[in-house]
Chain A
Amino acid sequence: MSAASPAASVARRAMRDARVRTISFAYLFGAIAYIQPAAYRHAYPTPSSRVAFAHSFANNKAIRLFYGVPRDLLTVGGYTAWRVGGTLAIIAAVFGLLAAVRALRTEEDAGRMELLLAGVVGRGTAYLSALAAVAACVLIIALAEFAGLLLGGLPAGACAYLAVATASIVPVFVGVGAIASQLAPSRRMALELGGAAVAVFLLLRVIADTSSGAGWLRWATPLGWAEELRPFTGARPLVLLLPAAASVVLLVAAARIAAGRDIGTGVLPARDAGEPRLHLLSSATAQALRSERGSLIVWLTSVGAFACIIGVIARSASSAGISKSLQREFAKLGSGSITTPSGYLALVFIFFVLAVSLFACVQIGGAAAEESGQRLETLLALPLGRRRWLGGRLLLAAVASVALSLAAGLLSWAGAESAGVSISLPRMLEAGANCLPVALLFLGIAALAYAVVPRASAGIAYGLVTVAFLWNLSGSLLGAPKWLVELTPFAHVGLVPAQPFRAPAAVIMLALAGLTSVSALWAFARRDLSGV
């Protein structure tokens, strides 16, 4: 260690810091890359089943929303490029943004960058070291995707090209995150700016992929470039020049801004003073709502916007040309029938179940941050009981989850209505409410994890939600026994509005949610607060 150059030490520390995030994303990339080709082979073994599948999907705009435009659905490679490439491009963008903001703004926000620059490390070196660490993490993730595809039985050269196509997105969004980190004076604002950029680019891709005549818009978004690289379907490696050029431009621009500003500030002014605003300070729960307000609005807007788009697109779900046997295959995907608007909405709402579950975990993460930031010590030294504090946070999370779920139902209904699809509002609100049993169950589990092992709780909560969701998608496709597939709560969600609401399963999940929440309150009142 002592012999290493300062730059190498900085990069190594940044990598250590990012190891949990890198490992989680690598696992996600590897798992998705392996599951898709394996599942396709399993579900569509014969050329005729593939032709039928391709026919039904070729014009289904509803499906393109998540995965982009399919180029070739008759080969394992073509299908994989579409499903894996389309999804992972979005996840890669998120990874790039998180990595950049963590390395370039959070460090500075926490004052650690100041410490570093006071030593022998110069600004340029610190910046390049941080980028080198991110590059190493990207390499690990791309290798995980490559290995997953290879295990899925695809040719090595094409696998490598698809992995490169996905990875090429990351530096662009590292650039976006780097710019956001220079503009925003705080970590939170940097993430909000970067998140908005990801959302806009995703929206551009959705429009390009779903509206006729708007295909050219794909060239305007990095997420579209990944599609235009066309892995497995007539590769166009020259397109790689686009992400390469964009990354260089963004990163150089960020470096120039970084060189010209004071440490600890951003280009945008921070609103650091003002007349007191005394609303939402009457209790710890009210103040929690006050500090989470911004993030709640972001969640509500993005889930609402997404629900609205989905409602509009539901119109294009139709049964034209889909055989009965193929529809049975869809049933295996756990998606009901995507041949009707309500079937399509039911399929998509399983993603809202996931979103609301993740939201619940985020809320517990907010509570845990009060403790790790040692503000909880100040709160609990006041006449405020522990159960009351955690109970308030749980209540807030539950109420916000209800709002989020109902917003998804309401806005997808509004979207469908505006596109001329007739669907019942109560039924769509029911579809929204149907997200709640699973989400509240994960809220309880996350709270219990926090109460017992505060430091590991985030990993446990997000890990369980992700594994449970992927297992629901892939378990039945991989032919796992029924009881094993049914271990995940997601398997017990009735696909409302296509299927009836499954009351018994919901009651059991809600009971478990109650049990875990009560256990969490009990356990939390019995442990030491974690402190330095």
Chain B
Amino acid sequence: MQPVIHTEALCKRYGSTVALDRLDLTVEAGEVYGYLGPNGAGKTTTIRLLLGLHRPSSGRARLFGLDAWGDPVSAHRRVAYVAGEPFLWPALTSAETFEFLGRLHGGTDVAYRDVLVERFRLDTRKKIRALSKGNRQKVQLIAALATRASLLLLDEPTSGLDPLMEMAFRECVKEASERGQTVFLSSHILSEVEAVCDRVGILRDGRLVDQGTLQELRHLSAQTVEVTFTEPAPQLPALAGVEVSSAGPKALRFEVSGSIGPLIAMLAAHPVATLTSREPSLEEIFLHHYEGPGGDVGG
């Protein structure tokens, strides 16, 4: 089957700034893909290239096998997009905006739209100019979700939403996924990605630095093992892939990348009282990728 999103060595330069550097990305039909990165990492640039709004400097992007720059209109029939900033027509009410965007898209599930309006608690009689940012964001989201498009391209869609609405949004993404829609979710909110995404890509300074299921990413990163002993902590020989630090007079902390087996074997010869190990959260994986040289999270 044709991948829904496929990019090959996709590059975008603005003057001398490299916004996106040789991106190879494949998202299969039905996946919910989380696209993570801090502000300025190149998330919005990627989406603009996927939509054919900006022209690639080199490489290419395809949606449903169609060239994103060369044949955008055919691709867009199967795409719904939520922009990072909710800029809409101030003089139209929400209901009029739905009508307008729905007509242009050429297919709207009106019954589902009414459900969404209810769920997001939107007053559709109000004009866009009278709505807060969060409410304008809801208008965009409802318009996009109600198209039931095969691919949802969402650029930080929950900015401005309150926690209740954030939960409603997650529910909608799950419904879309169950219905077989593909979702591409750009975000810098880790808990959101962790909650809804099957697969995650981490973008840093225009490069995809890591990609995989949450499971896979966890295996690649360090696990933390904390051990307490019944007597003062012993001196242990160095072990490849294991970093040791003191966690108290009778305790040690190990940061293990790769297999935990050799460490367990070594500890067996010592008087271990307790042993706890925990997997890294997505946040730790994320920070791990941003703590390298030049990798300030603020980037």
Contacts and interface: CB of A to CB of B under 8 A. Distances in A.
A494 B130 CA distance: 50
B123 A273 contact: yes
Interface string A500-532: 000000000000000000000000001111011
Given A274-B93, A274-B125, A374-B83, A383 B106 contact: yes
Contact of B101 (A270, A274, A276, A382): A382
B89 A272 contact: no
Interface stretch (A15-23, A280-288, A430-438, A473-481): A280-288
Contacts of B53: 377, 380-381, 528-529, 531
A278 B48 contact: no
Contacts of B91: 291
A270 B48 CA distance: 35
B154 to A, nearest CB: 12
A277 interface: yes
A367 to B, nearest CB: 14
A284 B52 CA distance: 19
A373 interface: yes
Contact of A381 (B79, B100, B126): B79
B235 to A, nearest CB: 56
Contact of A281 (B55, B85, B88, B96): B96
Contacts of A270: 129-130
A276 B55 contact: no
Given A276-B99, A282-B103, A287-B89, A385 B48 contact: no
Given A528-B53, A528-B54, A529-B48, A281 B103 contact: yes
Interface in A250-274: 270-274
Contacts of B99: 276, 278, 281
A383 B55 CA distance: 17
Interface stretch (B69-77, B245-253, B290-298): B69-77
Contacts of B129: 186, 270, 272
Contacts of B123: 273
A284 B103 CA distance: 10
A430 B178 CA distance: 65
B5 interface: no
A532 B226 CA distance: 47
A384 interface: yes
Given A270-B130, A273-B126, A385 B96 contact: no
Top 3 nearest A-B pairs (CB, nearest first) are: A272-B130, A381-B81, A276-B95
Interface string B187-229: 0000000000000000000000000000000000000000000
A390 to B, nearest CB: 14
Contacts of A528: 48, 53-55
Most buried by B among A383, A385, A527, A529: A383
A384 to B, nearest CB: 6
Contacts of B89: 287, 291, 375
Nearest to B153: A381
Contacts of A273: 93, 123, 125-127, 130
B51 interface: yes
Contacts of A381: 51, 53, 76, 79, 81, 83, 153
A527 B14 CA distance: 12
A383 B100 contact: no
A193 interface: no
Contacts of A274: 93, 125, 127
Nearest to B55: A528
B250 to A, nearest CB: 54
Given A186-B129, A276-B93, A383 B105 contact: yes
B104 interface: yes
B96 A532 contact: no
B87 interface: yes
Interface in A19-68: none
B96 A276 contact: yes
B259 interface: no
Interface size class of B (residues with CB under 8 A): 35 or more
Interface string A273-308: 111111001111001000100000000000000000
A532 B39 CA distance: 12
Interface string B28-55: 0000000000000000100010011111
Nearest to A282: B103
Interface of A: 186, 270-278, 281-284, 287, 291, 373-375, 377-385, 526-529, 531-532
Given A275-B125, A383-B73, 12 more contacts: A272-B126, A272-B130, A273-B93, A274-B93, A281-B99, A281-B100, A283-B103, A283-B104, A291-B91, A378-B81, A381-B79, A382-B81
B96 A527 contact: no
Interface of B: 44, 48, 51-55, 72-74, 76-77, 79, 81, 83, 85, 87-89, 91, 93, 95-96, 99-101, 103-106, 123-127, 129-130, 140, 153
A12 to B, nearest CB: 28
A271 to B, nearest CB: 8
13 contacts: A270-B129, A270-B130, A273-B125, A276-B93, A276-B124, A281-B99, A282-B103, A291-B89, A380-B53, A526-B55, A529-B53, A531-B44, A532-B85
Given A380-B72, A382-B101, A375 B87 contact: yes
A272 B48 contact: no
A274 B95 CA distance: 10
A288 B159 CA distance: 29
Contacts of A281: 96, 99-100, 103
A378 B126 contact: no
A284 B54 CA distance: 21
Nearest to A277: B96
Contacts of B105: 382-383
Given A274-B93, A291-B89, A291-B91, A385 B103 contact: no
Contacts of A383: 73-74, 76-77, 104-106
A378 B72 CA distance: 13
Most buried by B among A186, A276, A277: A276
A283 B105 CA distance: 10
A271 B101 CA distance: 22
Given A380-B51, A531-B48, A287 B81 contact: no
A529 B87 contact: no
Nearest to A293: B91
B104 A384 contact: yes
A379 B100 CA distance: 10
Most buried by A among B74, B100, B153: B100
B106 A272 contact: no
B96 A375 contact: no
A526 B70 CA distance: 10
Contacts of A373: 87
Contacts of A186: 129
A101 to B, nearest CB: 17
Nearest to B81: A381
Contacts of A275: 125
Nearest to B140: A378
Contacts of B83: 374, 377-378, 381
A404 to B, nearest CB: 22
Nearest to B50: A381
Given A273-B123, A528-B54, A529-B53, A278 B96 contact: yes
